[in-house]
Structure 1
């Protein structure tokens, strides 16, 4: 992961926020995109064409697995805003605006 991050890359998940935590400011932008459970449930229902209970169960199972993996590997909580430079609620910002914010932050030198 660190070798990949030496080039221009987007690393999604896999504890990238932790693996790259020692990178100098401006060389990496750690982002956490979140949304309320109900928003996520409705998105998954629509995307997968599945009932609400199935969507909710899939999300909760995924969240538990992600939480366990990150906590076991790093000792930190993956949802803790202190682990990231930018946290965005996609239910408020919408996905196009999330992209704009991430690109804007990643393309600016640190501290500007």
Structure 2
């Protein structure tokens, strides 16, 4: 059996560590921190860990709201999405995820951009 992206990322614990650092970065960035002001961040981190585990072909099925419903009220612009995606990629670099696996994660996330971006710049 071939190793999945989930396995190469280190499984759930490693993905959860990346998610924790990723949200730490987002909450420190005034450009996007406001999107998370009224959220239970423990719950948000759990959902994001589940989501990334799922898109990385892990043994996890994402059970949260669909991306469009979850984000439509936030009025996320393409620039906002780029800031958030950059933080994710930089966090993956910080955790020494190799370039091919970073690209695979970023490609999977980019596939949801049309559902997440709900406003123009």
- The TM-score normalised by the length of structure 1 is 0.29
Higher percent of residues as strand:
1
Larger radius of gyration: 1
Higher percent of residues as helix:
2
